[in-house]
Structure 1
Amino acid sequence: MSVLKKSVLVLAVATSLVAATVSVAQEATSLKHANYSTELRQSVFSLLGSNMGPLGAMAKGKAPFDAQKAEKHALRINQLSLMIADYSRTDTSKFDVETEALAKIWQETDNYSHRIEDLTKASAALMAAAKTKDEAATKKAIGGVGKTCGGCHDDFKKD
């Protein structure tokens, strides 16, 4: 089975898991629970950002193109995308926690799940592009990942 076919199979399974996970959001039971859940959710997004940074630098020509690094960061983003729903499951919106997340995460679960799926697909496409070592295709795929991040930020993150 080719790498691309394996990626598509993993993506199909992951997508169905994402939709199922977000739709069962649970309210935080206390401020302590809300703070802890927020910390975990923010950790996933911090890791996403730390992997997107080097990709963005490559895409903008601020760092040399490196297909191996692009593939490594794409794999990490893909893996992290599969965790977002789990770490967003706890609805912290009724508590005063330090977060840039909007309550819409738990109010618009279908849209949020769709955004996560978009990131999973875009990062899989980036992994495939990086494997070819084609700089133009990889940079285009980096842009695709960046677009999914920005779209989610527009809908679910405070400015």
Structure 2
Amino acid sequence: MKILSKVLLVGLVSISTTSVFADVAQSEKHAIKATELRQSIFSLISSNMGSLGAMAKGQIPVDATVVEKNALRINQLSLMLGDYFKTDTSSFNVTTDAKNSIWTEQDKFATNIENLTSASSALMVAAQSKDEGAIKKAIGGVGKTCGGCHDDFRD
């Protein structure tokens, strides 16, 4: 019940906080810093996905405790993405794999963020069940949201 309450609260918060309305970076320094912060969030998401992917592929044993911890982290990081994409850096020469379509398709990008929040919430619930099949399926759901966003918004 405790995790379900967290999931519901996270869902409500995500609905109200993931709208992406970007302001243009005020300088190249501002654009570089905004890009570095975004990349830091994605690095943390990736580091938490690594062991989850290995579990889903059967390369390491499924550990529900690790899954729940990593899913919670991914969920929390997903809630930050909208805030860190509020600075449009497309008019500056920054090193990024992000496509400029992030800035022209903001509603679609916000939906992708919401999908990651929902998928990571579902993974937390699956981890609580300790059902290996449900956990692997939910890991796949998180991976699918990551891949879908990469397809649309990453070079």
TM-score interval (norm. to shorter): over 0.9
1:9 matched residue in structure 2? 9
Query: If the length of structure 1 is used for normalisation, what is the TM-score?
Result: 0.94
- Going from structure 1 to structure 2, the CA distance change for 1:59 and 1:5 (only over 3 Å counts) comes to same
Aligned residues: 155
Structure 2 unmatched ranges of 5 or more: none
Query: If the length of structure 2 is used for normalisation, what is the TM-score?
Result: 0.96
Spell out, residue by residue over 1:33-80, the C-alpha distance to the aligned partner (whole angstroms, 9 max, x if none).
111110000000000000001100000011111000000000000000
The equivalences for 1:36-51 within 5 A come to 36-51=33-48
- Candidates 137, 140, 143, aligned match of 1:140: 137
2:23 matched residue in structure 1? 26
Are the counterparts in 1 of residues 3 and 124 from structure 2 also a CA contact under 8 Å?
Answer: no
- Candidates 55, 58, 81, aligned match of 2:52: 55
SS in 1 for 2:18: helix
- In structure 2, how many angstroms separate the alpha carbons of the residues matched to 1:104 and 1:44? 19
Structure 1 unmatched ranges of 5 or more: none
- Candidates 117, 120, 132, aligned match of 1:120: 117
Q: Which amino acid aligns with 1:14?
A: S
Q: CA RMSD in A?
A: 1.1
Spell out, residue by residue over 1:95-142, the C-alpha distance to the aligned partner (whole angstroms, 9 max, x if none).
111000011111111000000000000000000000111100000000
Are the counterparts in 1 of residues 24 and 88 from structure 2 also a CA contact under 8 Å?
Answer: yes
- In structure 1, how many angstroms separate the alpha carbons of the residues matched to 2:87 and 2:16? 19
Hey, which bits of structure 1, 4+ residues long, moved more than 3 A? none
